[in-house]
Structure 1
């Protein structure tokens, strides 16, 4: 693994789950991890409920833009975390892959998005502890 690990978070629309995970990783790692996110079919905008749920945590993801996940992003990442994108993510031998089974926040109320957000936070904290064991 490189000196500064790179993590790629991927979900279909890159508008909710992956953006919340990326927001947490950026905030909790304090810049010690390079964070990428993308989607297999990027949406038009970030889910407003995801923005609101993260704002409650003091993390602003409102300026994020859904982007297409690229093979290059996967190649340069030490860990690739997928969130319901199925078989669309390219696989490279030797990479760390995890698929986090998370409910899609699309169309959900803020009350319904909060538990998804909290699940993502716990998973990001656990991943961060593995990536940077001496820093946590």
Structure 2
């Protein structure tokens, strides 16, 4: 039983890491580029349907997730920051560091359309007392900035 579980875990990890390779030719340089995509399922928060998206829209293991644009457009209503942050973190696989005791109840703007999590957070917190105070390849830090 342990061997079967280990084998399944190794196969799943290999597929997630390497994915399917699609070669495309870059017109500007003429060089062939390789793009990795792996399809995974995401359960929507508002509906109970299973949707497929590319692993590139979640988190690519070789680069940061802050600039990765999602395949499925965001449709997050204006709500509390803790709800928006959770929806964005789940959709992208990026970590949002914040003190929810201080920032969680702040009302933020709606986020609609295809964009990176960095841009989505900026849209959500525009005009509020929240601010992105730190950016790393795989995480954002959001804090209240007192004026």
TM-score tier by shorter-chain length is under 0.3
Normalising by structure 1, what TM-score?
Answer: 0.24
Larger Rg: 2
Q: Which has the higher helix share?
A: 1
Greater RCO, CA 8 A, separation 6+: 1
Normalising by structure 2, what TM-score?
Answer: 0.23
Q: Which has the higher strand share?
A: 2
